[in-house]
Amino acid sequence: MQARRTIEHGTDGGWSSVAVHLQPAGGGKEGFYLTLFPDARPPTVVFLRPPQLGQLIELAGQANVTDQQIWDVVARIPMEPLLPSRSLYPRLRALLVDCASSIRAQIRAQEDRPQPKGSPIDDEPIAAASPAEPPASESPAFIGSPGSAGGGGPDDGGSDLP
């Protein structure tokens, strides 16, 4: 009996290989979290959008693409590129190859989710140039105390300057 290289953790539990874990983003968010556990370094989490993960699965399925080439694609995704970790190269590929069909199904499920509507502000057309000063009916009214000089705002000193 051959030992398994990867484990599927159920619908939203993700997929694991030794020192590599891939999990869908929770809470209806689109994307995946790839957690890498390199030797003698703290774990690193890389957020992958569905098209990025799809590209990685396609690369992993090609015999002419090396494990390091797959790693290099992942390493360039975060703002601070990942350091090389030769022990993780084959483990990442094993995860992507062994679990490709269920990962693709999760990618499709995320892509098929209805996208949230934009906010009402996004739907309104952008107004043409607005006037320099709002009309008097829209400007806030400051009512000064009966003894104030200008009757304007509390700090205007009666100079009629804005």
The model's pLDDT over 58-111, given as tens digits with 9 standing for 90+, comes to 999 999 999 999 999 999 999 888 888 999 999 999 999 999 999 999 999 888
Sheet of 32-36, strand order: 6-8, 15-17, 20-24, 32-36, 44-48
Q: Minimal CA–CA distance to 34: which of 116, 44, 132, 97? A: 44
What is the chain's length? 162
Is pLDDT at 132 greater than 60 in this prediction?
no
For residue range 27-56, what is the model confidence (pLDDT) as tens digits?
778 999 999 999 888 999 999 999 999 999
Handedness of CA 31, 35, 36, 42 (dihedral sign): positive
Res. 123 pLDDT band, cuts 50 70 90: low
Residue 120 is predicted with a pLDDT of 55
- What is the reported pTM? 0.66
Residues with Cβ within 8 Å of residue 18, at least 6 apart in sequence: 5, 91
